[in-house]
Amino acid sequence: MPPRRFAFRRTEDAVHPDTMRAALSEFIATAIFVFAAEGSVLALEKLYKDTSTAGGLVVVALAHALAFFVAVAIAINISGGHVNPAITFGALVGGRISVIRAIYYWAAQLLGAIVATLLLRLTTGGMRPPDFSLASGIGEWHGVLLELIMTFALMYTFYATAVDPKRGHMGTIAPLAVGFIVGANILAGGPFDGAAMNPARAFGPALVGWRWRHHWIYWVGPFVGAGLAGLIYEFLLIPVETPMAHQPLAPEDY
């Protein structure tokens, strides 16, 4: 990803070919992810009337982990592999992308989620996509806190493996690492609030199925969690390099 920069008026990004290619990459990757992730839930509903079982939770978590791994992998060389408006927001507050590029990413991610959900409804004979909802006994602010914590972990993992300039060979497993944390978080938080961690993932099914109850939770929690992770990692864990700072040569540079 590009070095830290806070560009609020970087107007050239609006028409730059790289921005268009990156937005297209985010659209395709998000559509692939949502189609596979939401499709796994619909498949369970088709096979079993009651999907609230331990086996069903594991299947859904595995499907989300694999789908997000693939989506990030196919987009990371073009757009950075965000595939999530919250990750884009975390990169924005960390100064890694411009505001204009972030807006393009958000539009592409939301559109990709909508298209994927529409295609699922078409190919499944009109099955209505299930929405994210709170379990019995879980309040709205419990849901917000859950989404905040899980998305914080996702954004922190993304920063450590895909953004940190010292990541080295760790960058090659970034898609796998973020896929694993998505799957693990679904196992931990899925029974309580669905574990979206991704506003686009929640928005597509909500719009197509027209179910908006508690929908704001899946925007506020992920955005706050990703923003905090981006700020903490960027400004507390990544040192600011100065021109006078002496950097020792790596062994392969001798």
Asked if residue 81 belongs to a domain, the reply is yes
Q: Is residue 2 part of a domain?
A: no
- The pLDDT confidence band at residue 5, using thresholds 50, 70 and 90, is low
CATH number at residue 181: 1.20.1080.10
Q: How far, rounded to the nearest angstrom, does the alpha carbon of residue 82 sit from its chain's CA centroid?
A: 6
The interaxial angle of helices 17-47 and 99-123, nearest 10 deg, is: 30
Interval 106-151: pLDDT, tens: 999 999 999 999 999 999 988 988 889 899 899 999 999 999 999 9
The pLDDT value given to residue 116: 97
Torsion (CA) 202, 227, 214, 216 in degrees, nearest 10: -90
Q: What is the pLDDT of residue 239?
A: 79
Does residue 110 lie within any of the structural domains?
yes
Residue 233: closest CA among 120, 149, 157: 157
- Residues in CB range of 247: below 8 A, 6 or more apart: 241
pLDDT of residue 251: 38
Q: Indicate whether 186 belongs to any domain.
A: yes
The answer to the question of residue 176 being in a domain is yes
Number of domains in the chain: 1
Per-residue pLDDT, 249: 43
Q: Is residue 89 part of a domain?
A: yes
Rounded to an integer, the average pLDDT of 64-85 is: 96
Among 50-54, 63-67, 234-238, the minimum mean pLDDT is found in 50-54
Q: What is the pLDDT of residue 131?
A: 83
Cβ pair 94, 233 in contact under 8 A: yes
Q: Is residue 86 part of a domain?
A: yes
What is the average pLDDT value for the chain, to the nearest integer? 89
Average pLDDT over residues 90-99: 94
Asked whether the beta carbons of 179 and 65 are under 8 A apart, the reply is yes
Answer yes or no: pTM beyond 0.75.
yes
Flag whether 249 is in a domain.
Answer: no
Range of the domain at 42: 11-233
Number of CB atoms found within 10 A of residue 169's CB: 6
**Euclidean distance between the first and the last CA atom of the chain, given in angstroms as a whole number:** 26
